[in-house]
Amino acid sequence: MRAICMAFLNVWMLWCCAAAFGAGETAAKGVVFDDANGNGVRDEGEVGIAGVRVSNGREVVVTNEAGRYEVPVGDDTIVFVIKPRGWMTPVDALNLPRFYYIHKPNGSPKLRYPGVAPTGPLPKSIDFPLTKHDEPERFSVVVLADTQTRTLTDVDYLEHDVIEEIVGAGTNAAFGIALGDIVYDFLEVFDPVNEAVAHIGVPFYNVHGNHDTNQDTAEDRTSDETFERVYGPTHYSFDYGPVHFVVLDDVHWYWHEEKNEGRYHDRLTDVQLEFVRNDLALVPKGQLVVVCMHIPIHKVAGRGPLFAMLAERPHTVSFSGHSHIQRHMFLDEEDGWPGDEPHHHVNFGTACGCWWHGDKDEVGIPHATMSDGTPNGWWTVTFDGTDYSVVFKAARRPADYQMNVFAPEEVAAGDAARTEILANVFAGSARSIVEMRVGDGKWVKMKRAYRDDPSIAALGYAGKSTHIWQATLPSGLPPGTHLIEVRTTDMFGHTYTGRRLIRVTKNAPDS
């Protein structure tokens, strides 16, 4: 009876999909198989794998006992396998996962930057090779937000400021995620960026950003043709270890008639939402789901249905870039989140910082500090079952460089109790504990404030920071030089300390 029901369900899904894909709709068929020798071709004796999910970007089907699947396609469809735990898809020479087949019989339209060449008739069998892969409960992922390279000079900055450091540290990451704006409008830079990132030595999954778009088209449907040629689908999912990752494209391109130019806004399409619905229907409720996108989710059109799906699950988190600041958001009812507990959204500070701008240091790399005072850098996310933790690494700085402490150089003894001390804790959040002491004095809690970073304000381009804490010096400090220490413990239990010396004078300091 179960087999009959499953057969009926698959026929019903195929019938329903015909209308969705319109003219040219047909069925793609193939096998997901155990590529025992790793050559990417199904050789004699290599068996199919049952229970693997395959999608056309909307529907999700499951392979049968022989590893076979069938899914509808139109004349502009990407069919992809949803990588299961314990298996790996092929990666190319640049460590880009190749888990998909693009079906564009006539190719992409003619655009400034080339898209997909004509793929011709649908193959009789689209087979997906998988190789067995050990995936433990605990693993780490390296995250790059907005590498945003406009020129080869920017690629040089990325290489020398970020990539070389990750390579030198010998990352133990299982894979990487690039959260969009891989380039800065000039799509020919995709290739040199990929060549640089490949040296990290792990597979890299990529998110579509607004600056990764074909901007000489009038519609969203053809705005990601070059991205598809280079990276594949703009929305997809995969499992690694106990975690399910969902990648979405929340950049929607449109033509502004009055301005006679292309623009974008943040939006999740109905197709993507249906994909997520079908995808999560096959993911156990107790599994951690990580949603990756470019634009922060808290104001994206279409987030309501996504929130409703995620709120049904006990373990979710979402990641984004785009804003060129760092912030942890805990989304609640005011943001449209319907769950009982807030949803954690991490808006990662960027690899390019403030678009590779700023004064250059002694080796010719711009300081690139973001408007909230966060240095440019990269991130490591560690997963362990349904738990996760996030660690920030400032580019070419010590690992424990996690804050800047601000205080005047000197203060009169009588003014100490009115003297404000600030700490910008780069990866801090509303759930961080931040304390200060002077010398061997008592630790006192600092108060979180939404304000400018003083050093960035002095440069004239400051933006409000969500991770600044303030306190005043204790009264009764004697004249002399005193050590201020600021200690923070973040929501994951990581503790860091920052320090600054201050002189206390008998009289008011010279003007």
pLDDT tens, position by position, 76-96: 999 999 999 999 999 999 999
Domain annotation covers residue 331: yes
Domain annotation covers residue 130: no
Domain annotation covers residue 128: no
Domain annotation covers residue 422: yes
In whole angstroms, give the CA distance from residue 370 to residue 350: 8
18 pLDDT tier (thresholds 50, 70, 90): very low
Domain annotation covers residue 129: no
480 shares a domain with 408: yes
Query: What is residue 14's predicted lDDT score, i.e. its pLDDT?
Result: 41
Nearest to 504, CA basis, from 382, 401, 407: 407
Q: Which of 187-191, 447-451, 461-465 has the lowest mean pLDDT?
A: 461-465
222 shares a domain with 89: no
236 shares a domain with 172: yes
Per-residue pLDDT at 136 exceeds 80: yes
Query: What is residue 508's predicted lDDT score, i.e. its pLDDT?
Result: 59
88 shares a domain with 177: no
Nearest to 269, CA basis, from 60, 9, 64, 20: 20
CATH of the domain at 248: 3.60.21.10
Domain annotation covers residue 117: no
Question: Sign of the CA dihedral 122, 274, 278, 285?
Answer: positive
384 shares a domain with 291: yes
**What are the start-end ranges of the E strands in 133-247?**
138-144, 175-178, 204-206, 236-240, 243-247
24 pLDDT tier (thresholds 50, 70, 90): low
439 shares a domain with 309: no
Q: What is the 3-state secondary structure (H, E, C) of 72-136?
A: EECCCEEEEEEECCCEECCECCCCCECCEEEECCCCCCCCCCCCCCCCCCCCCCCCEEEEECCCC
163 shares a domain with 220: yes
In whole angstroms, give the CA distance from residue 137 to residue 79: 29
CATH of the domain at 440: 2.60.40.10
Contacts of 15 (CB under 8 A, 6+ apart): none
379 shares a domain with 416: no
Domain of residue 211, residue span? 141-394
Distances (CA, A) of 330 to 261, 318, 346, 430: 36, 10, 9, 9
Query: Of 394, 422, 442, which one is at a domain's C-terminal end?
Result: 394
Residues 354-383: pLDDT tens digits? 999 999 999 999 999 999 999 999 999 999
Averaged confidence pLDDT in the chain: 94
463 pLDDT tier (thresholds 50, 70, 90): confident
Please answer whether residues 15 and 63 qualify as being in contact, where contact means their C-beta atoms are separated by less than 8 angstroms: no
Contacts of 18 (CB under 8 A, 6+ apart): 25, 72
Query: What is residue 169's predicted lDDT score, i.e. its pLDDT?
Result: 79
Per-residue pLDDT at 444 exceeds 70: yes
**Chain position carrying tokens 């992409």:** 108
Distances (CA, A) of 89 to 41, 80, 85, 197: 12, 10, 11, 19
Residues 108-134: pLDDT tens digits? 999 999 999 999 999 999 999 999 999
Query: Of 394, 420, 448, which one is at a domain's C-terminal end?
Result: 394
366 shares a domain with 243: yes
Q: How many domains does the chain have?
A: 3
254-259: long-range pairs with CB below 8 Å, 24+: 254/218, 254/219, 254/220, 255/218, 255/219
Domain annotation covers residue 7: yes
Domain annotation covers residue 353: yes
Residues 237-286: pLDDT tens digits? 999 999 999 999 999 999 888 888 889 999 999 999 999 999 999 999 99
Range 26-44 average pLDDT = 96
Strand partners, 176: 142, 204
285 shares a domain with 160: yes
Query: Of 367, 394, 421, which one is at a domain's C-terminal end?
Result: 394
pTM: 0.93
User: Which of 322 and 509 is assigned the larger pLDDT?
Assistant: 322
94 shares a domain with 170: no
389 shares a domain with 474: no
